[in-house]
Amino acid sequence: MMRLRNLQLDKSVPIPLYFQLKELILSEIKEGRYKIGSMIPTENELSHIFQISRTTVRQAITELVQEGWLYRVKSKGTFVAKPKIEQSFIQALGSFNDQIAQLGRTPHTELLDFEVLEAPEYVAHELNLQPKDKVIYIHRQRFADDEPIVMVKTYLPYEKCRFVLDHDLSRESLYPVLASHDDTQIYKIRRLIEAVDAQDYDIKHLNISRGQAIQQFISVGYNMYDVPIEYSLARYRGDRNRFEVTISANQTNQAK
């Protein structure tokens, strides 16, 4: 179990003690003194070291667990978690491979299905297709450093996107492929985001346990003419991903 250095909380300032303790532990993690997988001192030990209540300690630890910096193991203790992957795709059009590479991780894709089939009713509705129209179905398992972090099912209108079938999507990113044709390049995406419980599908493909959270994204991508080109369902591991959104003053004013 890791030990705290000779650090102290400042009880003379108006900053809550739980927040000071939280920031102290977080700085130790970020600076590499608390290694991934190592156990932190118990609530009793932290309470004794800093001469603060267990309630104060518990609040600090709970927030660090909720933010993904620590995790608890019943009857064993609290441990340093592997940092979550910071995803910005929620507000950007960049490819998965580019975003993972920018984080210093190695992206990898397993292509599980790549075929032409009749569009499911809900997909036909989102893509403005007629009943029995064909779509290209792409089912991918995507990794960062050989760790599976997301499963993606994508549907493209066959008549517009048949050229995609000539590409190896285990090696190429879909959006640059679509951008090779002017009328299929994605210019706008509408996304629906929700947290859902892991299902057997997620347990099988994402190496997670039943009861863990999944971050589900339903996305519809549009070309420059506002015609829907892509319908995707992505299921991200809740314990390994978090998503960043930046809202500017201009965006806020435009929404009013």
Band of pLDDT at residue 178, cut at 50, 70 and 90: very high
Average pLDDT over residues 69-75: 87
The region that residue 10 occupies, defined by phi over 0 for left and psi between -120 and 50 for alpha, beta otherwise, is: beta
Q: What is the pLDDT of residue 122?
A: 93
Q: In 94-172, which ranges are continuous DSSP H helix? A: 96-102, 121-126, 158-161
Mean of the pLDDT values across residues 89-100? 60
Look up the pTM and report it: 0.63
Q: Write down the pLDDT at residue 4.
A: 57
pLDDT interval class at 37 (50, 70, 90) = confident
Average pLDDT of span 180-206? 89
Nearest CA among 203, 211, 214 for reference residue 240: 214
Measure Cα distances from 144 to 73, 104, 109, 127 in Å. 25, 10, 9, 30
Residue type, 227: V
pLDDT 10s digits, 208-224 = 888 788 888 899 999 98
pLDDT above 90 for 30: no
Count of all residues that appear for the chain in the document: 256
Element (H, E) at 254: helix 249-255
Between residues 36 and 96, which one has the greater pLDDT?
36
Ordered structural domains, the chain, with CATH: 17-80 (1.10.10.10), 85-244 (3.40.1410.10)
The pLDDT > 90 percentage for the chain reads: 42
Please report, rounded to a whole number, the percentage of residues in the chain having pLDDT higher than 70.
84
Task: Answer yes or no: is pLDDT of 240 > 90.
Answer: no
26's CB contacts (< 8 A; 6+ apart) are: 64, 69
- Over range 108-132, report the average pLDDT: 94
Predicted local distance difference test score (pLDDT) of residue 19: 92
CA separation, residue 56 to residues 21, 53, 61, 66 (Å): 9, 5, 9, 16
Query: What pLDDT does residue 256 have?
Result: 39
Burial (CB < 10 A; 0-12, 13-18, 19+), residue 50, is buried
**What's the number of CA atoms in the CB half-sphere (13 Å) around residue 250?**
0
Query: What does the mean pLDDT of the chain come to?
Result: 84
